[in-house]
Amino acid sequence: MRGGKRQARAALRLVNRDPTVKRLILLEALALTALWAAFFLLRRETGSFDREADRVFEAWLYWVSAIGITTVCSVAVACAVDAKIDGVEGDLRMALGEVRRRLPTLLCWWLISIGALIALGFGTRAVMRPLPAILVVAAVWGVGSLFVVPAIALQSGGPLESLGEALRFLRARWGRALAGLFVIGFLFGLAFIACGFLLRATAESHPRTTDEPLWRFGGPLLIFCLVYALMAATRGGFAVILARDALGDLPGEPPAANPRRRPTTILRRSS
């Protein structure tokens, strides 16, 4: 518990102090808000769909695009955090270059994420109401996929190798992972509650006309996306710290009993 809390706080400090991670957080928040604005304007121009199939297709198109944005930004944040731990002052070009180098594995994980979330969503909704189902899916997916992005960032193998390495990280550090995720979830849960009240107040004053201004919902939603992006970056940084700890490659921590050697790091590639 103590180790997980300490490393979660270290991840939060790293995210708040690293300028590259801050830029990636802002980029993700702006991209998610722009995606919502595009669908908002499209709906305002076309009106509501009459067929249920069209509404379902629109919803899934939105979430598939949003998952793609968050996946790319998560890998970029993990690469930036890995470089920061190694003492390398990176920038957006470096982080996005690392993402481009891992693009095939990233695309495979994006497809796996979509399929897994669909399966989990249908499975839980079959036995639960929508809100408890969402909470269960978020908890299961948050813990089960915690080390996938760090495995993609730290390793140079394909999707199957990254998934196998992620499972090994989870088996080695599941206790600290649960403790750290509890701390991160509690802190950002309070922020999400505040954002929820803000969005609710905006929705209650919504006149529901076709010429509703974009900024009315865009401003509160941007704040919500910023909180989400900051939480995702903290979670990703925490996972990278835990993965480096499991590899015996974390500065300031005692080496692991049987550390696994990993291939070239960002530090060696930069030198």
Give 8-43 pLDDT, tens digit per residue.
Answer: 888 888 888 889 999 999 999 999 999 988 887 877
User: Where are the alpha helices (H) located in 145-271, listed in sequence order?
Assistant: 148-154, 159-204, 215-246, 266-270
In a domain, 156, yes or no: no
In a domain, 189, yes or no: yes
What is the H or E stretch that residue 81 is in?
A: helix 52-85
Whether the per-residue pLDDT at 76 is higher than 90: the answer is: yes
Rg, C-alpha atoms of the chain: 20
Which of 87-96, 169-178, 235-244 is modeled with the greatest confidence? 235-244
The CA–CA distances, whole Å, from 169 to 101, 150, 188, 240 equal 22, 9, 24, 10
What is the H or E stretch that residue 248 is in?
A: none
Token duo for residue 109: 């994980």
Residue 261, amino acid: R
Choice among 77-81, 128-132, 190-194, 206-210 with the minimum mean pLDDT: 206-210
Token duo for residue 203: 């929705």
In a domain, 158, yes or no: no
Give me the phi and psi of 156, to 5 degrees please.
-120, 15
In a domain, 28, yes or no: yes
Containing structural domain, residue 26: 2-101+175-270
In a domain, 127, yes or no: no
Token duo for residue 64: 């598939």
In a domain, 149, yes or no: no
Q: Report the alpha-carbon distance of residue 15 to residue 25 in Å, rounded.
A: 9
Whether the per-residue pLDDT at 271 is higher than 50: the answer is: no
In a domain, 148, yes or no: no
Number of domains making up the chain: 1
Question: Tokens 């970029």 sit at which residue?
Answer: 76
In a domain, 128, yes or no: no
∠ Cα 81 83 88 (to 5°): 130
Mean pLDDT, to the nearest integer, of 261-270? 46
The pLDDT assigned to 229 comes to 92
What is the H or E stretch that residue 117 is in?
A: helix 103-125
Which of 53-57, 149-153, 172-176, 201-205 is modeled with the greatest confidence? 149-153
Burial of 175 (0-12, 13-18, 19+ CB in 10 A): exposed
The pLDDT assigned to 233 comes to 92
Q: Report the alpha-carbon distance of residue 72 to residue 61 in Å, rounded.
A: 17
pLDDT > 70 in the chain, percent: 75
For residue range 183-241, list pLDDT tens digits in order. Answer: 888 888 888 788 777 777 766 665 555 556 666 677 778 888 899 999 999 998 999 98
The pLDDT assigned to 31 comes to 94
